[in-house]
Amino acid sequence: MIHCYKLGGLNIVLDIFSGSVHVVDEVAYDIIEMYEKSDKEQIISEILKKYKNRDDVTKEEIEICISQIEDLKDAGKLFTPDTFSPMADTLKKKTSGVVKALCLHVAHTCNLNCEYCFASQGKYQGERAIMSLEVGKRALDFLIENSKGRRNLEVDFFGGEPLMNFDMIKELVAYARKREKESGKNFRFTLTTNGLLIDDDVIDFANREMSNVVLSLDGRKEIHDRYRVDYAGNGSWERIVPKFQKLVKERGGKNYYMRGTFTHANPDFLKDIEEMLSLGFKELSMEPVVCAPSDASALTDEDLPIVLDQYEKLAELMLKKHREGDPFTFYHYMIDLKGGPCIYKRVSGCGSGTEYMAVTPWGDLYPCHQFVGDEKFKLGDIWSGVTNTEKQGEFAACNVYSRPECSNCWAKLYCSGGCAANAYHATGAVTGVYKYGCELFRKRMECAIMLEAAKALED
Amino acid sequence: MNHIKTLDTKNLCESAKNGGCGECQTSCQSACKTSCGIANQQCENKKETK
């Protein structure tokens, strides 16, 4: 399978099953599109006809181009057949029985009251609660016990607002540092915060102990304050931005994401990215809102072309800034063509419900943070482990080849079938497909690969 | 003339032989938390054929 597209002045051909990326001229682009449907004589005739006003497009030159295409095909870099389909189950089974990441819901409560929150203001359709140190420690023990040979273990402090349980987080990280020495593991912690409770103590701790921090900022003040308000209805932008700036300034180059949400209120989210840049932030992420289609904040069909155009304009801006020596990153455009994921990862996906689980303040296990609060997805708890093996089996069976809708999609080995939670909310099945999300994903991949291609050609 | 420039990329077919150590980041963990994709994950397997 191949995918051909034109973006940023480049003609790009992706060979899906080898992972190869080719930048081609106009003639080669047309020939590659015709190659599998036409014989050599037909191609020559069609190309000569199309380029009749170009002296350089001769029969000989077309034959040279065809031979270059054939060389790439012989080298396994073009029109590569799918050899992964028969091994999809085997690849996915490599994750069987191994847990390597937990999302710890240390606070099912929040000091903001954001209307668009998928977690219903941090409560996840339940009662407000705080995770105890005892539960937190047992969660880490559970992770170590079930991680088998995996060394790198990820733990995300999530909520609600996790800093509403900051003292416990500090004690738990100290416990983890002790346990990782004994067990030969390496914990990577992440903190996701709305920023309100950031102070010097938090900054010092987060910049020392957190591999990553995810800082929630929606961009422009009027956009941010539309949803991200406290219980008195006051916007939070002015209170959090100086705190985020101080934290990032003192972070010393360690990873962070300035993470925004865009909704029906701001499909023109590039303006919010530009606002983040003007505030001095360079590692950015803007995510489409997750909510019911009936929600006022939900993205609509009318928003879709605007959003797709914004993704292209964002790529153009990134290329411009790269050329000016003032680059910034965007989470979804961070693609490493040489050092990216292997085919095992591409087939097996995010690992929700198998490698990755969420832990509630009470110690219950769910397939991921987005299923917390939906009782039928409860997998077990951190004391007894996974007991709902039937439900876990649904997640274990998810791979890129288990979704018929993905079979003809060129982007499948970049998304690995997509998000189970998005699929469930859109279709009622974790093996479904959230088609709106697919549209956004494909555009993001085209932009990301174009950016890498443009940089590779210039460097 | 050369009509095609091929970028240096990981060979997925080769990665089937030695991939799958599982040490890489869980996709949306530690990051966006809402829209999964695996393309931006880093390989952590030093032994894998690139």
Set of chain B residues whose Cβ sits within 8 Å of the Cβ of A89: none
Is the pTM of the predicted complex or chain greater than 0.90? yes
A152 near B CB under 8 A: yes
Do A24 and B5 lie within an 8 Å CB cutoff? Answer: yes
Residue in chain A closest to B30 (alpha carbons) equals: A190
- Judge contact between B37 and A441, C-beta under 8 A: yes
Alpha-carbon separation of residue A26 from A9, A11, A80, A141, A376 (angstroms): 11, 7, 22, 58, 53
Q: Are strands A2-7 and A10-15 parallel, antiparallel or unpaired?
A: antiparallel
Q: Is A240 helix (H, G, I), strand (E, B) or coil?
A: helix
ipTM score for this prediction: 0.87
A21 near B CB under 8 A: yes
Letter for the amino acid at A31?
I
Residue B47 Cα, gap to closest chain A Cα (Å):
12
| Dist. CA A209–CA A186, nearest whole Å | 12
pLDDT per position in chain A (459 positions), as tens?
Answer: 999 999 999 999 999 999 999 999 999 999 999 999 999 999 999 999 999 999 999 999 999 999 999 999 999 999 999 999 888 877 777 767 899 999 999 999 999 999 888 888 888 889 999 999 999 999 999 999 999 989 999 999 999 999 999 999 999 999 999 999 899 999 999 999 999 999 999 999 999 999 999 999 999 999 999 999 999 999 999 999 999 999 999 999 999 999 999 999 999 999 999 999 999 999 999 999 888 888 899 999 999 999 999 999 999 999 999 999 999 999 999 988 888 888 888 888 888 999 999 999 999 999 999 999 999 999 999 999 999 999 999 998 888 888 889 999 999 999 888 888 888 988 999 989 999 999 999 999 999 999 999 999 997
Write the residue in B9, B24, B48 that is nearest to A21 by C-beta.
B9
Write the residue in A22, A72, A100 that is nearest to B22 by C-beta.
A100
Taking alpha carbons only, the member of A189, A445, A327, A342 closest to residue B42 is: A342
